[in-house]
Amino acid sequence: MPSDKITAGNGSAERKANAVGYLADDHEIPRVRGVWRLFVYSAIGAVVFFLPVTYKGTKSIPLDHMVTAVKEYLPELVPWFILALAAYGTIRSIAHKNWQDGPMQAIFVVANVVGLVISFLMVIDKLPWVLGDEDLVPFLWDSIAVSVGLIVPIGSAFLALLIGYGFLEFIGVFMQPIMKPVWRTPGRSAIDAVASFVGSYSLGILITDRVYQNGGYTAREAAIIATGFSTVSAAFMVIVAKTLGLMDIWGLYFAVSLIVTFIVTAITVRIPPLSTVPDDYFEGSEPSPERVVKGNRIREAWREAMMALEQAPSLGKAISENLPDGIRLAGAIVPSIMSIGLAGLLLAKFTPVFDWLGYLFYPFAWVVRLPEPLMAGKASAMGIAEMFLPATEVADQESLVLRFVIGVVSVSAIIFFSALVPCIMATKIPVKITHMVVIWFERVALTILIATPIAYLLL
């Protein structure tokens, strides 16, 4: 579990006192030394997290290229590092007696132990039974565990650059008129959404958890962001599109997936369980909600940035205290991926559970005349185990509309147990597993209802 102590972006007493209400134009802008940090550090952070560049023929963000380079130049060390993360997370959960926090945490402690054993067997190449099949443990390890295990620690080191020196507050002022009325989240949450789409859901959740523990988000806002914006990256969407034969309409698929995802989020924030999550700040944090800006938005954006910069630590201190948090988070995620994710894949491969769950979505597929509604329902249900499974279920279907809609469902559903659920459970974000299952059902049903008419209209 990540620590409760987060240093980047803490608010001052003045910031807290003026947090509510409209800003007056006569508020002074603090005089801060080292204003260059806002531009230089934030620019480096933005490039690392958001700017796609080409490396060895592959276009992605620099952070992804860093992970690729580590895997490429240290291939023998990476598996042992990921195993060490799994061991660290498992031992830490036992040492901290996490099972005392409730039945669900007790289950996760057991899951961590199982995940550690499976990780060890994977590293020494001694997987028993069918666990060594390419679509089971090797898939989880190579496609998810290794990537997340490297992205989260490396990303945490650069995270302080992005959120600790005023950039988050500056952007938040401009996005406030859009984010707050539509998605009921602060303007600064736009950074989380972009981080997920161009980087990774683990990055989005990492940012959300940091800002929540800083007092920048309430519990409800953090829950909305984690379950509504933290979808898979554009890079992984390409894999889905290739599997479904949609690359010739890639631009259309990407745009529709993006639009539908955020439309669905705008709906789910207004209904339970998200609407019932307490609107409280993290215990022990200093609340620093976004002020409601009226008037000169550029001036107030600059003032918010300067106030954040005034409280910012040195770069060395920020990195040295954020990097251990990233390692703790990765350690909590990796063993859960290897156990809970595997359980979902085994259910999908050897049981009719998802055939039964598919009937839940049959009425929604039938009412919008989605081709093969029973198959569409089953494929949609499989997404709760792993977001890639729906694509494999309908990849050989002739109907372009069916493949297109299921491709959108894979992205818009957001919740899946092979990785995202463990990611959220490893943070302080207060979302129960039962809540996530309900949110998943709502998102899948709404996506089918919204994406199918769009598919018929555009294809």
User: What is the pTM assigned to this prediction?
Assistant: 0.76
| Cβ-Cβ contacts under 8 Å for 82 (sequence gap 6 or more) | 119, 123, 141, 145, 146, 149, 150, 334
Specify which residues 218 forms β-bridges with: 281
Range scoring the smallest mean pLDDT among 63-72, 236-245, 367-376, 389-398? 236-245
Local structure of 195: helix, strand or coil: helix
Q: Report how far residue 428's alpha carbon sits from residue 6's, in angstroms, rounded to the nearest whole number.
A: 12
Among residues 362, 372, 373, 377, which one has the least CA distance to residue 397?
372
Which residues partner with 292 through β-bridges? 22
Residue 50: which of 206, 156, 200 has the closest Cα?
Answer: 200
**Amino acid at position 390, single letter:** P
Q: And the tokens for 454?
A: 């769009």
pLDDT for 2:
37
Write down the pLDDT at residue 13. 35
Q: Which residue has the tokens 């909305």?
A: 224
Give the residue, 58 or 67, on which the prediction is more confident.
Answer: 67
Task: Give yes or no for a contact between 440 and 381, defined as CB atoms under 8 angstroms apart.
Answer: no
Residue ranges in 269-352 assigned as alpha helix (H): 297-311, 315-336, 342-350
Measured over the CA atoms of residue 119, residue 240, residue 199 and residue 192, the dihedral's sign is negative
Any idea what DSSP says for residue 189? G
pLDDT of residue 200: 67
Residue pair 380/448 in contact by the 8 Å Cβ criterion: yes
Cβ(404)–Cβ(459) below 8 Å: yes
Average pLDDT over residues 39-45: 91
Q: Higher confidence at residue 370 or residue 135?
A: 370
Q: What would the mean pLDDT of 257-261 be, rounded to a whole number? A: 93
Q: Which two tokens stand for residue 91?
A: 């031992």
Q: Which residue has the higher pLDDT, 455 or 158?
A: 455
Report the pLDDT value the prediction gives residue 1, as an integer from 0 to 100.
36
Question: Alpha-carbon distance 89 to 337, whole Å?
Answer: 12
Crossing angle of helices 315-336 and 201-214, rounded to 10°: 120
Residues whose CB falls within 8 Å of the CB of residue 382, separated by 6 or more in sequence, listed in order: 348, 354, 389, 390, 393
pLDDT at residue 235, as a whole number: 63
Angle (CA) 425-429-432 rounded to 5° is 55
Give alpha helix (H) positions in 164-296.
167-183, 190-198, 201-214, 219-228, 234-243, 250-268
143 vs 224, more confident: 224
| pLDDT tens-place string over residues 261-292 | 999 999 999 999 999 999 999 998 889 887 77
* Cα 439 to Cα 351: distance, rounded to the nearest angstrom: 24
The mean pLDDT of 9-25, rounded to a whole number, is: 38
CB 194 within 8 A of CB 224: no
Buried b (16+ CB within 10 A) or exposed e, 192-230: bbbbbbbbbbbbbbbbbbbbbbbbbbbbbbbbbbbbbbb
pLDDT of residue 198: 58
pLDDT at site 20:
36
Q: Which helix (H) or strand (E) holds 55?
A: strand 53-55
Q: Which carries the bigger pLDDT value, residue 11 or residue 423?
A: 423
293 conformational bin, left if phi > 0, alpha if psi -120 to 50, beta if neither: beta
Looking at residue 73, what DSSP letter applies? H
Selection from 2, 92, 1 nearest residue 325 by Cα: 2
- Centroid of chain to Cα 377: 25
Output DSSP code: residue 277.
Answer: S
Q: What is the pLDDT of residues 295-344, one digit of tens each?
A: 788 888 898 889 888 888 888 888 887 888 788 888 888 898 898 888 88
User: Of the ranges 30-39, 195-204, 355-364, 386-395, which one carries the lowest mean pLDDT score?
Assistant: 195-204
Percent of the chain with pLDDT over 90: 42
Most confidently modeled range among 134-143, 154-163, 235-244: 134-143
- Write down the mean pLDDT value for the chain: 86
> Residue 126, class by beta-carbon neighbours within 10 Å (0-12 exposed, 13-18 middle, 19+ buried)?
exposed
How many residues does this entry show for the chain?
Answer: 459
| Between residues 200 and 407, the one the model is more confident about | 407
Residue 26 pLDDT greater than 50, yes or no: no
pLDDT higher than 60, residue 23: no
Residue ranges of the domains in the chain?
34-458
Q: What does the block give as tokens for 217?
A: 């988000």
- Given a contact cutoff of 8 angstroms between Cβ atoms, the answer to whether 107 and 93 are in contact is no
Residues whose CB falls within 8 Å of the CB of residue 192, separated by 6 or more in sequence, listed in order: 204, 207, 208, 211, 225, 229, 230
